[in-house]
Structure 1
């Protein structure tokens, strides 16, 4: 009975002992003895191969592959740092620093085994058990991959090993070379990189040449430096190669992609009118402000030129001089008529209306001056109104003279009752009525939509035309159309009165004057529609001067010629010599 009990106890103890043992496999690594140890688990190999499991034997461990030389350099850096510390008695006096580093092979099982091996010492890696009585573990360097580092942190946290990252943020060391090593708030050291240029040597082999550096730990100077003289480009030259596809677009142009070609290939398109680009290889053009315009190169915006019919301009000065000098001719004729007011030719052509017509003609010449000069609110307000009323006075005087000529000859017929309509008051009433209608139209125009000055940027490219906006184009053409109506009525009446006696008869002169007047203003319509800028105003001034001269020449030059050079025709006998033809001509009216 006792033998049976002892056999069971031995068997159970054997099973318990075998079950509590942690199977271990040899780990590759590097170590050095010391009074204090630094442990580490790093991936020297970065990949593994798992052998096939046939369930007939114990599974073999994963085979490590892809030796990573950079990681091996990290282990050597730890060894070098430990040796440097041990050689310097001022750092850890009377203490030798050792290390124990294992390859995790990027396998979780190996990482855990390495950590347990560092904690428990050589032999069986048992948790909560340390084989070594000496060489205490000072710190463990974690894995480079976050998954493995988190696993090691959980294991090491049970044994109260501190995380050095929190302390590393406050470390600032100076190396033997004088360079300082420190860490930012994230625990990262200053970045430092060498810029390497692959160059061919004389044998055609590739060698790595340092041509610059990037170092954020530099206290003074440039963080980024490149020695361009040491660079060798793919062409084998020291000069920067130019793109064989497209050249850079200078200012004034923009880049546009070429369909079907790579993105580095583009064409340079000139900026459209009104837009500029002030940078090389600009992707877009930008509009200039409203009062500026691009220069010829279209890389800067320059102020637009201002244009208006000025007195300093040769055209404006010529028109102004013509208007002033022309206004003196009606005044001279007026003085001549006053001097010869008692002669038959002056008395026979309605002396009072002739004087009023001469005064209005002088005002017609002078009103052209309002159109010259920089447009201002008052000038824009007055110029068309003055022109319309003064010309209405002029044309209405001619209309009254024409009507009075017809009435005078009609009144001489036997039994005619028109004699009461030949009084001077009738002619004055005709003039006043015609002028009042034009004045009413102008007042209505001003009240509804008065003219005003404006800066026109649409008429001429690159130029601001300062002009008077008529406010209502319809009102302007109605005013001008009314003048045309008066002139047309005068022309028709004078045309039918052309067969009256030739002596001192103004009908044929009025016919020619109205024909010339209408021709000028009919020609003005297409001319002003095709003109641009200040030439639009110049066309109207020219029409005013031309139509006024047409009236002066056709109406008064023949009379002045008779008064000055044919005085024998300015007599009552000459007038009476033509009386026989009066009755014949009147019958045809």
Structure 2
């Protein structure tokens, strides 16, 4: 309250000093006077902080003849606009709601100073200058003060052209301006408009949103009609630029709708629309321009068009007549986000010229409203119906409630919702300012601004960082260009059988924080004004039939072409392409490799994972029963190592599946070679130990047993494995395997394969594995008849015999299998040999451990019998 009284006193002192200095100047040697005052229609309410507003409430202006033989009269505005007045009242409602909110701006009262622009740039300029320079018509602030309030932020204007001009002036004062209806993308230029913000999406996003709709339905040949003003020209530039970047369409024609009623120009535009092959027409224009255009469309009976409406006319009810709807039914367009403002209707019902909440000196707009709606004449605060006696009074709320007016139709609050968000954005910026803690502020010396001395540029700082959510659930924040997080409703014009027009919301389009545009459409709700009840097809030229080719038309977009017959000469397609069925076009060849998604690849993958799982299960069984004789017999450590190497053998087969790449080509054979050598070397050492133990049991045979101790066994396995590792490294360094696209196997597809690089290296790798396997087989064959009940040499003999047979059969099969089938043969050999080793070596042992535990004793295993010849 103290700050409230101090601000009153400060304003009054300033006004007194100003009037006193003016008086002195008149009595001095020079007569210094200010320019004429600007008389403007408006509404005002006092507060600790004043917010300005510029709204288009009257349509037309009249002024005196400008012969300059006398002082020109101020312009007079006529043609009251209900929607503009409702937008102004929405700002008053938002201010009143904030003042009643104890959490937002506590102990601070907001006021407003609202002016009528009359849809004229000159009058909008007057309003802006009066609020920034304080040269407007003063009014009574409260009971003890009279003058011009300081304005810290302005809500407005409703036109891009006027906003561009006004914002250029306001930027000199760094005064923040939040527009609720100016969409020109040029206003996003922070260098020209550093203090401009808006709660409506820019035309740049509007264009991107409409392009999303065009792409959704595959419309690549689109007509574009724009209004001859800043809105239309900047939109057309953005539309063409975004279309070129996306490479997704062409413009059928680019036409400019003139201001005024240039009938000849409009006739030419409609004539081009009628002759064009485009079935989709996008119009960026105002409602007045559309009315002129539709008059000519009706005259020339241009039907069969799909209209795409910009937000400027997508909800214009003046176009919803039976005459126009015959052509406009099915129109798709984007509209400003609709919101709901609970309490606004009750607030509007309190609007009366003698309402104490309004400034008693300047309520001309409220008087104009009552005169326009109820034909009431005001005399000294009393009202009487036109043509009736004073006994028939306008009784305020009762009359307003009983009068069906557009003013109280709140079912489609779109610009009003943006006004509401603009006021709240300024309020939240002020609130953040009040939360500033001295010593940690954002300004020089980490200071905070005082409310009494708050500068407009300081409010711009806080406004740039505003982030809040409305009661309707929409997030409000501004990007680095002052643009709000954009969202549009997608509207569809439906013509009902009873002749009523219904504008239906069929979805929305919004931009995410990641700059990705998200289009949500319920296509089942869309009404199409065509016999097929489906979206039309809009192309410049149909696809050329077989035997012909496209010939681009000179001076036309790339999607316009003629179809001319092919010449009799045939040309060969490049290696990566193949002739189509009609042999009139080269199409890319398909690429073939052993894929994870084809049946063969799925089978191999399943078998590989199954084998690895079985190895894991056997390893678990052996670990659990590691103290039993079956596991401990003949070095259990080698058994565990064989299981680990077999698991690696199963898994390395996965490198042969999928599209060959450099690292998989290099790794597949190296992993395969080292894993199998580790496994076979363990088997070889096992077999040698069996023979050594048998010889040691004979007289004088224990001398050779010292060469087969545990360390010697480990060393032998490591040594044999390192030889294979050296072979692989030498092979990879000297002539590494690499992927290759082979076009020689088939003429209609490309085989992606791994070239082995060095055939010698691949041969040495396989030969070394084969050598170890043959040695294991021979030694196991010699030990097959050793007199043990459980003779492991017999199982080793069988497994190595099958192993050698598989890989001997592999060589001719691999050489004669082309492409992916060569990989399939190798994978089959790996899996088959791995399963044989796993089942032959560990199947009998697992059988005894799990099903015949009575045989899992040392006595049963070491029982003697007669050797067989």
TM-score by length of 1: 0.50
Which of 834, 845, 848 is equivalent to 1:559?
845
Secondary structure of the residue aligned to 1:453 is strand
Aligned residues: 308
CA distance in 2, matches of 1:279, 1:545: 56
CA distance in 2, matches of 1:542, 1:279: 52
Which of 482, 498, 502 is equivalent to 2:784?
498
CA distance in 1, matches of 2:683, 2:824: 26
Shift of 1:279: 5.7
Q: Is 1:399 aligned to residue 679 of structure 2?
A: no
Shift of 1:454: 1.2
User: After the TM superposition, which residues 561-580 of structure 1 pair with which residues of structure 2 at under 5 Å, given as runs?
Assistant: 561-578=847-864
Shift of 1:408: 1.1
Q: Cα distance 1:300–1:525, how it changes in 2: closer, same or farther (>3 A)?
A: same
2:734 aligns with 448
1:263 aligns with none
2:575 aligns with 290
2:639 aligns with 354
CA distance in 2, matches of 1:440, 1:480: 14
Q: Is the 8 A contact 1:295 1:302 kept in 2?
A: yes
Q: Deviations over 1:433-470 (max 9, x none)?
A: 11011111111101110011111111222111111111
2:463 aligns with none
Which of 698, 704, 717 is equivalent to 1:413?
698
Q: Is the 8 A contact 1:562 1:570 kept in 2?
A: yes
CA distance in 1, matches of 2:795, 2:565: 70
2:622 aligns with 337
Secondary structure of the residue aligned to 1:297 is coil
CA distance in 1, matches of 2:787, 2:760: 43
Shift of 1:525: 1.3
2:670 aligns with 385
CA distance in 1, matches of 2:755, 2:640: 35
CA distance in 2, matches of 1:279, 1:392: 64
Q: Is the 8 A contact 2:593 2:659 kept in 1?
A: yes
Shift of 1:387: 0.6
1:178 aligns with none
Which of 477, 482, 485 is equivalent to 2:763?
477
Q: Deviations over 1:536-587 (max 9, x none)?
A: 1111111110010010111110111111111111112213432x54xx57xx
Q: Is the 8 A contact 2:634 2:689 kept in 1?
A: no
Secondary structure of the residue aligned to 1:286 is coil
Shift of 1:523: 1.3
1:260 aligns with none
Which of 582, 601, 609 is equivalent to 1:324?
609
User: After the TM superposition, which residues 104-253 of structure 1 pair with which residues of structure 2 at under 5 Å, given as runs?
Assistant: none
CA distance in 1, matches of 2:757, 2:565: 43
- 5+ long unaligned stretches in structure 2: 1-545, 549-563
User: After the TM superposition, which residues 92-111 of structure 1 pair with which residues of structure 2 at under 5 Å, given as runs?
Assistant: none
CA distance in 2, matches of 1:495, 1:400: 14
Which of 310, 313, 325 is equivalent to 2:598?
313
CA distance in 2, matches of 1:508, 1:460: 47
CA distance in 1, matches of 2:565, 2:767: 56
Structure possessing the higher radius of gyration over alpha carbons: 1
Q: Is the 8 A contact 1:348 1:504 kept in 2?
A: no
Q: Is the 8 A contact 1:344 1:570 kept in 2?
A: yes
CA distance in 2, matches of 1:429, 1:481: 22
1:245 aligns with none
2:467 aligns with none
Q: Deviations over 1:127-155 (max 9, x none)?
A: xxxxxxxxxxxxxxxxxxxxxxxxxxxxx
Which of 359, 364, 367 is equivalent to 2:652?
367
Q: Is the 8 A contact 1:460 1:533 kept in 2?
A: no
Q: Cα distance 1:400–1:462, how it changes in 2: closer, same or farther (>3 A)?
A: same
CA distance in 1, matches of 2:661, 2:863: 58
Shift of 1:519: 1.1
2:711 aligns with 425
Q: Is the 8 A contact 1:380 1:451 kept in 2?
A: yes
Q: Cα distance 1:286–1:439, how it changes in 2: closer, same or farther (>3 A)?
A: same
CA distance in 2, matches of 1:375, 1:281: 40
2:470 aligns with none
CA distance in 2, matches of 1:339, 1:471: 45
Q: Is 1:524 aligned to residue 810 of structure 2?
A: yes
Shift of 1:280: 5.8
Shift of 1:394: 0.7
Q: Deviations over 1:37-77 (max 9, x none)?
A: xxxxxxxxxxxxxxxxxxxxxxxxxxxxxxxxxxxxxxxxx
Q: Cα distance 1:571–1:301, how it changes in 2: closer, same or farther (>3 A)?
A: same
CA distance in 2, matches of 1:368, 1:279: 52
User: After the TM superposition, which residues 575-586 of structure 1 pair with which residues of structure 2 at under 5 Å, given as runs?
Assistant: 575-578=861-864, 581=866
